Amino acid sequence: MFDRTPPARAPDGKLSLVTTRLELREAPRHRRVSMTGRDVALVHAQRPPLHFYRYLYATVGAPYLWWERREMDDAALGSIIFDDRVEIHVLLVDGVPAGFAELDRRRAGEVELAYFGLMPEFIGQGLGLPLLDRVVEQAWQADGVERVTVHYCSTDHPRALQVYQRIGFVPYDEVRAMIDDPRDRGLFPEHMIDTQLGVTASNDAGTPSDDMHEPEPG
């Protein structure tokens, strides 16, 4: 089951989104958050197979309607994740993929935390904040970084924004948009929707990190 029920379907097939853009202008100076007591590793997956990336993306993002990468064909997706300036970091817990983060360095002086989250089985185990801490630390491990950015979307877990701000991210912009509901395009077969009753349910699906994840760009 989903940790969070996706937004209700609107009669006109539209989905209202509010995206808060946040930035971090310097590396956090707080004490590192511990992930002790487990066999935990954050691994840079260099040129991961497309099917493995799609598995990570779909499992973590399904409850939050991450749709953009689902629409991409292999060539378009590969042009992004195989770019040397894009990093996929996979969290392993006891040897099992437990979550992932994507850092995008394609814009000079800026690193975007494009995607971030945990697999459903690892929610509530105290891994989300330590993972975010490690990923943000990794984002600053290059010369010329002036800021790290992340987007919080209204379809995200409601506590995500607070956790980003706990690390030190500060909101700097808000964007409102009305889009066609991606569920109407058949992109989410794991969502079983009763359109007459307005009920949304699911079978196997992912939930994000420590009750949080990174949204689709608005």
Which CATH homologous superfamily contains domain 14-202? Answer: Gcn5-related N-acetyltransferase (GNAT) (3.40.630.30)
pLDDT value for 6 = 75
Q: Do 16 and 65 touch, CB atoms closer than 8 A?
A: no
Closest of 202, 184, 182, 206 to residue 192, by C-alpha? 202
> How large is the greatest C-alpha to C-alpha distance in the chain, in angstroms?
55
Give the helix ranges, DSSP H, for the chain: 50-61, 68-71, 74-81, 128-139, 160-167
Task: Flag residues of the chain having pLDDT under 70.
Answer: 1-5, 30-37, 191-218
Task: Dump pLDDT digits (tens) for 187-202.
Answer: 988 765 433 333 322 2
Q: Do 98 and 210 touch, CB atoms closer than 8 A?
A: no
pLDDT value for 215 = 45
* 43 beta partners: 90
Task: Dump pLDDT digits (tens) for 55-70.
Answer: 999 999 988 899 999 9
Give the helix ranges, DSSP H, for 17-157: 50-61, 68-71, 74-81, 128-139
Q: Do 85 and 109 touch, CB atoms closer than 8 A?
A: no
pLDDT value for 37 = 65
| H or E element at residue 142 | none
Give the start-to-end residue ranges of the domains of the chain: 14-202
Q: Do 142 and 86 touch, CB atoms closer than 8 A?
A: no
pLDDT value for 31 = 57
pLDDT value for 190 = 75
* Percentages of the chain per state (helix, strand, coil), in multiples of 5: 25, 30, 45
pLDDT value for 123 = 81
pLDDT value for 146 = 97
> What rounded mean pLDDT belongs to the chain?
84
pTM reported for the whole predicted model = 0.83
pLDDT value for 32 = 61
